[in-house]
Amino acid sequence: MADRPDGAAQQGGNRPKLALHVPEPKFRPGDTVDFSHLQIPEAGKQPRPDETCDPKDMHELAFGLVRVLGEDNKAHGPWDPKLDPDTLRKMLGHMAMTRAFDERMFRGQRQGKTSFYMKCTGEEATSVAASMALAADDMVFPSYRQQGILIQRGYPMIEMINQIYSNKGDKLKGRQLPIMYSSREHSFFTISGNLATQTPQAVGWAMASAIKGDSRIAATWVGEGSTAEGDFHSACTFATVYHAPVILNVINNQWAISSFSGFAGAERTTFAARALGYGLAGLRVDGNDALACFAAEQWAANRARANAGPTLIEFFTYRAEGHSTSDDPSGYRSAQERSEWPLGDPITRLKDHLIAIGEWDEARQEKMDLEAAELVKATTKEAEANGILGHGLHHPFRTMFEDVFEELPWHLKEQSEQAIREREIKFPGGLEL
């Protein structure tokens, strides 16, 4: 029997050397930006299938781009939701308010009033327009850039600011990172900093709703980078196996902090295409087209209510600013990207549409923007009376041990007593305990 070749002999064969591929964005700081490689179809050309169709019959919709607003600022094609002007103005108002809120909170962080903030500039339609297509009591499981949902659902702005400042008015008692809101009354599940955990939670909630014979569906939002997390794939598996009445919204804003979308698989295929492998309905949508965002979410919601199954929607958009106040995008991407983005700005596009159909004008837009900024400013002043970062106006120290156990275990009781004694020694009579 011949001797087997040893490792060295194997390595000396004629096989080619392997090479590892590391994704690299097309543009880095200082580069001239050219988005001509993106295939942007004409608005109104994508077919709109029946809401109860077999996912196999909508294969191409996972690779195209559902668009309604054309270059002429008019609505086109079968995806036009045909919303009345009042609804469109309300949608525009919520988006303008969200942007005004972001601007004020960003400045507040730079002034040291809070430790952290995240803007959603350029992505407002993916939360405001999409959530307007849901029922008010449908449960939403957001990520950290969906503040527009709360604004659209009428959550008191002062409560949002109290939470951001972690002050004595914060209903979450300073236990959450700023911008991680929660409101049972508005069917808004608590935001988590652990990426993609909301996706299996949304699917589980939807399954429970179906088990109980309820009429409410669930919708979740997740960034494209987080689709690389195992929780996302577990969510897709459970959703398709149990026909859960849930919508999985993937916000592809091109960047996950400083890592571009290629690290999550964007070089190979679309994120909507992930639906195909699971047998889910998949849609890829112009995320800067408010009408397309509404129409796609409405289609998916109707499908879920008809017990026809879940839907994965990729909203193709662009993160116009930094990931958060802790990020400086000029260090990893070209400054030209925002201005060169071929799908424009969602607020501008909806405004231009209303003007094109004779239901709006620049003067009214200017008035809307000013009123939004003034309301946010006044509400911020009101919230600041409850305290800002570092000013000592926060919940009593003892509350950090409350609200977890019905009866505090002995070891936590000892820790609480020790902590309070030490605080009394350090700040005698100076702070509420």
Residue 385: per-residue pLDDT:
96
Residue range 324-337: mean pLDDT, rounded: 96
Residue 428: per-residue pLDDT:
81
End-to-end CA distance of the chain: 83
Residue range 6-14: mean pLDDT, rounded: 63
Residue range 293-297: mean pLDDT, rounded: 99
Residue 89: per-residue pLDDT:
98
Residue 400: per-residue pLDDT:
85
Residues 309, 239: Cα–Cα separation, whole Å: 8
Residue 164: per-residue pLDDT:
98
Token pair 């011949």 in the structure block, residue: 2
Residue 232: per-residue pLDDT:
98
Burial degree of 362 (CB within 10 A; 0-12, 13-18, 19+): exposed
Contact predicate 319/343, CB 8 Å: no
Q: Which two tokens stand for residue 322?
A: 């930094």
For residue 7, name the pLDDT band (cuts at 50, 70, 90): low
Give helix 230-241 / helix 198-211 axis angle, nearest 10°: 20
199-233 residue pLDDT tens: 999 999 999 999 999 999 999 999 999 999 999 99
Residue 54 confidence (pLDDT) above 80: yes
Token pair 């969510």 in the structure block, residue: 235
349-371 residue pLDDT tens: 999 999 999 999 999 999 999 99
Token pair 């499908």 in the structure block, residue: 303
For residue 401, name the pLDDT band (cuts at 50, 70, 90): confident
Residues 160, 179: Cα–Cα separation, whole Å: 8
Q: How many helices (H) and strands (E) does the chain have?
A: 13, 7
Residue 118: per-residue pLDDT:
98
Burial letters for 244-263: b for 16+ Cβ neighbours within 10 Å, e otherwise? bbbbbbbbbbbbbeeebbbb
Q: Which two tokens stand for residue 245?
A: 């009445």
Token pair 């994508």 in the structure block, residue: 46
Backbone angles phi, psi at 159, to 5 degrees: -70, -35
Residue 410: per-residue pLDDT:
96
Tell me the three state secondary structure of residue 222. Answer: strand
Residues 6+ apart with CB under 8 A from 186: 136, 150, 153, 154, 155
Q: Which two tokens stand for residue 4?
A: 């087997």
Burial degree of 390 (CB within 10 A; 0-12, 13-18, 19+): exposed
Residue 394 confidence (pLDDT) above 90: no
Residue range 399-406: mean pLDDT, rounded: 88
Tell me the three state secondary structure of residue 94. Answer: helix
Contact predicate 128/92, CB 8 Å: no
Residue 390: per-residue pLDDT:
83
Residue range 375-387: mean pLDDT, rounded: 97
Residue 294: per-residue pLDDT:
99
Q: Kindly report the pTM of this predicted structure.
A: 0.94
Contact predicate 65/88, CB 8 Å: no
Residue 103 confidence (pLDDT) above 90: yes
Residue 78 confidence (pLDDT) above 80: yes
For residue 298, name the pLDDT band (cuts at 50, 70, 90): very high
For residue 12, name the pLDDT band (cuts at 50, 70, 90): low
Tell me the three state secondary structure of residue 311. Answer: strand
What is the edge-to-edge ordering of all strands in the sheet holding 218-223? 139-141, 218-223, 246-252, 311-316, 281-286
**249: number of CA atoms within 13 Å, CB side?**
34
Which of 333, 294, 286, 342 is CA-nearest to residue 314? 286
Residues 329, 115: Cα–Cα separation, whole Å: 19
Residues 258, 326: Cα–Cα separation, whole Å: 11
For residue 11, name the pLDDT band (cuts at 50, 70, 90): low
For residue 313, name the pLDDT band (cuts at 50, 70, 90): very high
230-276 residue pLDDT tens: 999 999 999 999 999 999 999 999 999 999 999 999 999 999 999 99
For residue 427, name the pLDDT band (cuts at 50, 70, 90): confident
Residue 38 confidence (pLDDT) above 60: yes
157-187 residue pLDDT tens: 999 999 999 999 999 999 999 999 999 999 9
Contact predicate 68/290, CB 8 Å: no
Q: Which amino acid is at 280?
A: L
For residue 432, name the pLDDT band (cuts at 50, 70, 90): low
What is the rounded average pLDDT for all residues in the chain? 95
Alpha helices in 6-156 (DSSP H): 7-11, 85-110, 124-132, 147-152
- Within 10 angstroms of residue 48's Cβ, the number of other Cβ atoms is 16
Contact predicate 150/183, CB 8 Å: yes
Residues 193, 165: Cα–Cα separation, whole Å: 17
Residue 431 confidence (pLDDT) above 80: no
